[in-house]
Amino acid sequence: MLEAFLHSPSKVISWPPLVRRAARLRLPFWLWAIIIGFVPTRLLATLDYIVVPPSGLGGYLIDTALVLSIFLVYFVYAIRFISNRMERLNEYVLQMSPDAPVDGLRIPFRLANILAVWVVFLLAITFLFGFPSPTSVFSEHIAVIAYFFLILASFLWVYSYSMYAIHRAGKLPLQLKPFTEDRTLGLKPFGTASLRLASIYAVFPITLTFLELVNIEVDIPGGVTIIFAPIRLTDMIFSVGLILAGVALFFLPLLSIRKRLQEAKRQELSWVTPHYTTIIEKLKEQISKSPRGDSTNETKALADEVTMVRQIQQDVQKIQSWPFDLGVVSRLATVLVIPPILGVFARILILVFLHL
């Protein structure tokens, strides 16, 4: 139930009063997602078609509003998914540091913040494409697009603040685990949370790759026609830019966590390395005292201590610099890098076989 989700005291998103009042309708979350995604866009699109009628039934059923509605449902679920992940991470932070703020990773979901991001979007679009004419307001579904950017602004606010919250968590008074138990000192959940955010972002380069490679034309009752679009260098550059941005968005929130790992590693080495050096000096002196190089009990004890301290030093050196392992990096490549590359590769193979 959406109401239980919104009013739970452990949640990390502070929902605006308007959303809280709407949640009292006690509708399931999936139905809320469909209502938010489809109902306003279809109503706005219908208003547009009343002013500027479509060319056919297909233009009304499968249009820009439908495509944007699918994305809106995804954004609604993504907001919920991110809030759940941040809730778990917040609980983990409280376990690592009882003195940390209870709402240290709280996401302020204020309407003013959303509207500010939305206005920035609208101003940017107006600057890039110019102010729409009275006729194009209806023919180009400007109202539908504006509503789309409103929900997109909500998603981006939650997504961006989640990255900021992960980065800020690295500065909290966390009680790190001993390096003998965990090479990431208990900070691996932060890397996992950042990977989840990168997975949410991965839909953008994947969708863009699909839209760049395939054109779908709907003609009722003629049917649906799929046309393979030509591969353009500008599109490939833009896709690569999105992938690189996704990789950066994965690493940026973890910079503070990386700093904590490096500081902990330096602190451990600050006593291990001098102690190791001292023992080596003592061992040299003991060996030099024995003309024939005969080993004494003290020499054997020092040699055993050297072996022990060297093993400790090697274990300290194994403390990871980032709160993730190779498996997390491979999953990042799987969700972010590989799908667009496979899409382009499949498009090239199709073109080759069609021209044979």
Residue of 117 and 287 predicted with greater confidence: 117
- Least Cα distance to 33 among 70, 83, 86 occurs for 70
Helices (H), the chain: 2-7, 17-23, 29-51, 57-61, 64-96, 111-129, 136-139, 142-169, 188-201, 203-213, 233-251, 255-289, 297-317, 326-332, 338-354
Non-local CB neighbours of 115 within 8 Å, separated by 6+ positions:
153
Q: Is 284 exposed, middle or buried (0-12, 13-18, 19+ CB in 10 A)?
A: exposed
- Would you say how long the chain is, in residues? 356
* Cα–Cα distance measured from residue 38 to residue 146, given in angstroms and rounded to the nearest whole number: 14
Residue of 336 and 85 predicted with greater confidence: 85
Compute and round to an integer the Cα radius of gyration of the chain. 29
The domain spans of the chain are 1-174, 176-356
pLDDT in tens, 58-83: 555 566 788 889 989 999 999 989 98
Provide mean pLDDT across the span 138-163: 87
- Residue 98 CA, chain-centre distance (Å), reads 27
Residue 230 pLDDT grade (very low, low, confident, very high; cuts 50, 70, 90): low
pTM, to two decimals:
0.79
Residue 244 pLDDT grade (very low, low, confident, very high; cuts 50, 70, 90): confident
* pLDDT value of residue 201: 87
* pLDDT value of residue 77: 92
* pLDDT value of residue 6: 47
Provide mean pLDDT across the span 91-114: 78
User: For the stretch 7-30, what's the b/e string if a residue is b when 16 or more beta carbons lie within 10 angstroms of its beta carbon?
Assistant: eeeebbbebeeeeeebbeeeeebe
* pLDDT value of residue 174: 86
- Least Cα distance to 214 among 91, 325, 344, 304 occurs for 344
| 101: preceding bond cis by omega (within 30 degrees) | no
Handedness of CA 178, 184, 187, 189 (dihedral sign): negative
Provide mean pLDDT across the span 10-38: 68
Non-local CB neighbours of 243 within 8 Å, separated by 6+ positions:
205, 336, 337, 340
* pLDDT value of residue 8: 45
Collapsing DSSP to helix, strand or coil, 261 comes out as helix
* Cα–Cα distance measured from residue 31 to residue 5, given in angstroms and rounded to the nearest whole number: 14
Residue whose tokens read 């409280």: 94
- In this predicted structure, the answer to whether residue 277 has a pLDDT above a threshold of 90 is no
Q: Is 204 exposed, middle or buried (0-12, 13-18, 19+ CB in 10 A)?
A: middle
Provide mean pLDDT across the span 257-285: 88
Residue 329 pLDDT grade (very low, low, confident, very high; cuts 50, 70, 90): confident
